[in-house]
């Protein structure tokens, strides 16, 4: 899924671009402003607006010398477009909720990389840190099966390949405080979708 331009990815052309702009604002926009924000010509915008008004997705109000347009957010189809525009946030919520199926809850699941920064398109991986509880062995088959099942569900939710990096709770802090570029990115951009946030992860316990 292209999470940078989700509406245009599903509804191509000028119509998708116009709907993407309308989904992001509750304000009324005149045709020239709408066209400019959508990156289309005024002629292109003028061709798609009548059908959107006729479908009941868009309200047109005459304010001479121009017409004003807004998305009718109560409309069921318009609501679907709004949800599509918010698809990244919805996906983050759903992949976090999917972790409830683990037999033992992960300490944390952290999404980082392009997906966390809002730059993920259809070619991007969803990069994830799964923090394993210390009382679950690294080679625990039940745990490994649960991680793979969750990864597959996350891929189904996002449509993108999901890359999982697994660490134990005891070792995660040493990774987070390392100078490695990957872990600096996790600290800077990581979004916890399940369990503890990055700043609440425990310090390692030394014997």
The reply to whether 70 and 131 lie within a common domain is: no
User: Is the bond into 65 cis (omega within 30 degrees of 0)?
Assistant: yes
pLDDT tens by residue, 48-98: 999 999 999 999 999 988 899 999 999 999 999 999 999 999 999 999 999
Does the residue 105 lie in any domain? yes
170 SS3 class: helix
Cα separation of 51 and 47, whole Å? Answer: 8
% helix / strand / coil in the chain, to the nearest 5?
Answer: 50, 20, 30
Query: What is the mean pLDDT of the segment spanning 36-48?
Result: 97
Whether 93 and 195 share a structural domain = yes
Range of the domain at 29: 6-85
- Domain check: are 132 and 181 in the same one? yes
| Cα 89 to Cα 92: distance, rounded to the nearest angstrom | 5
- Does the pTM surpass 0.85? The reply is yes
Q: What is the pLDDT of residues 96-142, one digit of tens each?
A: 999 999 999 999 999 999 999 999 999 999 999 999 999 999 999 99
Q: How far apart are CA 79 and CA 17, in angstroms?
A: 16
Q: Are residues 14 and 64 in the same domain?
A: yes
Number of domains making up the chain: 2
Q: Is residue 207 part of a domain?
A: no
Q: Is residue 206 situated within a structural domain?
A: no
**First-to-last C-alpha distance (Å) of the chain:** 46
User: Given the structure tokens 């304010």, which residue do they identify?
Assistant: 63
Domain end position, chosen among 85, 110, 125 = 85
SS3 158: helix
For the segment 139-153, what is each residue's pLDDT rounded down to a tens digit?
Answer: 999 999 999 999 999
One domain for residues 55 and 103? no
- Tokens representing 178 are 């390392």
Residues 75 and 136 in one domain: no
Query: In whole angstroms, what is the distance from residue 196 CA to residue 107 CA?
Result: 6
Query: Looking at residue 199, what DSSP letter applies?
Result: G
| pLDDT band for position 207 (cuts 50, 70, 90) | very low
In the predicted structure, residue 40 carries a pLDDT above the cut 90: yes
């Amino acid at each position: 899924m292209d999470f940078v331009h989700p509406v245009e990815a599903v509804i191509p052309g000028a119509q998708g671009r116009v709907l993407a702009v309308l989904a992001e604002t509750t304000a009324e926009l005149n045709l020239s402003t709408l066209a400019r924000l959508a990156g289309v010509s005024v002629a292109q915008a003028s061709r798609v607006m009548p059908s959107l008004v006729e479908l009941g997705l868009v309200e047109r109000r005459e304010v001479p010398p121009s017409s004003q347009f807004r998305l009718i957010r109560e409309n069921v189809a318009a609501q679907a477009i709004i949800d599509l525009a918010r698809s990244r946030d919805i996906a983050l919520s759903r992949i976090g909720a999917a972790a409830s199926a683990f037999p033992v809850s992960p300490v944390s699941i952290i999404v980082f990389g392009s997906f966390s920064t809002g730059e993920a398109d259809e070619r991007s991986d969803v990069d994830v840190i799964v923090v394993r509880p210390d009382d679950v062995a690294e080679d625990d088959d039940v745990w490994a099966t649960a991680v793979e099942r969750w990864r597959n569900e996350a891929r189904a939710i996002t449509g993108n390949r999901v890359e999982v990096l697994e660490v134990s709770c005891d070792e995660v802090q040493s990774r987070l405080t390392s100078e490695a570029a990957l872990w600096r990115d996790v600290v800077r951009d990581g979004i916890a979708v399940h369990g503890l946030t990055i700043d609440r992860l425990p310090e390692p316990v030394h014997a």
